[in-house]
Amino acid sequence: MTEALSDTFTVRFFARLREELGVEEMTLKAEPGLTTGRVLEQLASRGGPWSQLKNGQPVMIAVNQAMAKEATAVNAGDELAFFPPVTGG
């Protein structure tokens, strides 16, 4: 069953998280009242390397390419990203 594009949002992973989860990008179904923190909880409940999203090293959150918090709302069409603290420069 294919989900309608308009019902979904994208999640991207970078750097160490991308490598340890083995996923670069995924598409998930949006639900009313969803927050980035809830998405993290749902993903962490998959177990294995995913548990680190709630119980591991700090995870930074972006929504639509702007820094966000766990309380930030997630809507259909959004681009979420989870990544380790940044280390450029």
Partner 1 sequence: MLVMSWRFFRRSQGADVISIQADDFDPNAEYQALRQSGPDTGAIATFTGLVRISGDHSGVTGLFLEHYPGMTEAVIQQLIDQASERWNILTARVIHRIGPLPLGDQIVFVGIASRHRGDAFAACEFIMDALKTSAPFWKKEINQEGEHWVEQKTSDLERSESW
Contact status, residue 9 vs residue 76, Cβ threshold 8 Å: yes
Contact with partner 1 (CB under 8 A) among 22, 33, 47, 88: 88
The whole-angstrom separation of Cα 84 and Cα 74 is: 20
Stretch that binds partner 1, among 31-39, 40-48, 68-76, 78-86 (CB under 8 A): 78-86
User: What CA–CA distances, in Å, run from 38 to 41, 45, 80, 88?
Assistant: 5, 11, 12, 28
CB of 32 to partner 1, least distance (A): 26
Contact call for residues 42 and 33 (beta carbons, < 8 A):
no
Q: Pattern of binders to partner 1 over 35-74, x per CB under 8 A?
A: -------------------------x-x--xxx-------
Residues of this chain, 3-32, that bind partner 1 according to CB under 8 A: 12, 14-16
CB 43 within 8 A of CB 56: no
Q: Which residues bind partner 1 (CB under 8 A)?
A: 12, 14-16, 60, 62, 65-67, 81, 83-89
